[in-house]
Amino acid sequence: MKVMVTGGAGFISSHIVDLLIENNYEICIIDSLEHGNTENINKKAKFYKMDIRDPGITEVFIKEKPDFVIHNAAQISVPASVDDPMNDASINILGTINILEASRKANVKKIIYPASAAIFGEPSYLPIDEQHPLEMLSGYGITKHTVEHYLKVYKSLYNIDFVVLRCSNIYGPRQDSSGEGGVVAIFCEKLLNDEIPCIYGDGEQIRDFVYVKDVADAYLMSLKSNINGIYNVATNTKISINELYKEINVILHKNIVCTYAPERRGDIRESYMSYDKINKKIGWEPETNLTKGLQETLNYYKNKLSR
Ligand SMILES: NC(=O)c1ccc[n+]([C@@H]2O[C@H](COP(=O)([O-])OP(=O)(O)OC[C@H]3O[C@@H](n4cnc5c(N)ncnc54)[C@H](O)[C@@H]3O)[C@@H](O)[C@H]2O)c1
């Protein structure tokens, strides 16, 4: 079976590609390298350096005839979507329509797509389940949710199966720690370098961190099963940013005191998500506890720094 993975040079997709190749899938990657890294690209995958908005995408799909599409390429920064909503919508909506049209013309059977906790806004109850009301606070939230509608429409018009995985905060090896990168990646790199990280707000914000390899498992299981629809992928576990920071210090046997800066506008106070639906449907559950996931992540950054 052949899978076209957009964004395959990025953090999450590169783990998915590695797992799919281990499971004997044939992989093609489309990535503009806007944000991803060629080091992340599995050598056994065929790579097209292309923007998902490129009109030539359909030709590639028709040539490669993928059975499945994993559409992960995206503009992923919430602040960037606020600063430049046109660019965000251009990549995340128009780029996605280009991928959907190419999929339709190439008779793709199923598309898997990652949505985000950014579509829920400040939760009205916890844990967040798939029925939770939506309250988008950024262009990014809007574009991630808009694609969910397009996928439903392509299912009803053209019978292309789809799975939306609404993921909580994903962390693990290969995550970008620069700019608006993930908080785990930033803490790991700073603490390994004996630098002092900064926490926005009082650090008592609650989040739900899911390990990237567990997320990759959710993609593989969704691909293999006959499920359609929207599913949360999370741990239903709460941890504050202060606790997360302390845990990384403990693993490293360090005690670096961080600084605090004013809370960022639009930061959500408390968010964690239930994964009951996907668990009941295909048996997925997070396998990696936070300590183990952080240890593996720290090992990755240690190796990276020693290179
Ligand atoms: N990281 C998280 O916690 C998280 C949570 C929920 C959902 N997601 C979603 O998962 C997906 C992957 O996120 P990630 O964290 O791996 O980000 P990433 O930036 O590491 O990966 C995205 C990839 O898309 C590529 N890309 C960007 N614009 C492109 C374009 N116009 N054409 C072709 N390629 C393009 C980038 O070069 C990059 O390799 C995104 O859709 C994101 O919205 C991420």
| pLDDT value, residue 162 | 98
Rounded Cα distance, 257 and 156, in Å: 54
List active site positions. Answer: 140
Residues of the chain with pLDDT under 50: none
| Nearest ligand 1 atom, CA 54 | 32
User: 7-65, pLDDT tens digit by residue?
Assistant: 999 999 999 999 999 999 999 999 999 998 999 999 999 999 999 999 999 999 999 99
Q: What number of H helices and E strands is found in the chain?
A: 11, 13
Rounded Cα distance, 25 and 9, in Å: 17
| pLDDT value, residue 178 | 76
| Nearest ligand 1 atom, CA 31 | 34
Rounded Cα distance, 199 and 134, in Å: 27
Helix (H, G, I), strand (E, B) or coil at 261: strand
Measured in whole angstroms, how far is the alpha carbon of residue 63 from the centre of its chain?
28
| pLDDT value, residue 307 | 82
All residues at 6 or more sequence positions from 109 whose CB lies less than 8 Å from its CB, including other chains: 67, 68, 160, 161
Which of 4, 6, 12, when mutated, tests ligand 1's pocket best, judged by the most ligand atoms within 8 Å of its CB?
A: 12
Q: Where are the alpha helices (DSSP H) in 159-275?
A: 183-192, 212-224, 241-251
Closest CA to 300 of 174, 171, 169, 182: 174
11 lines ligand 1 (CB under 6 A): yes
Closest CA to 51 of 73, 70, 71: 73
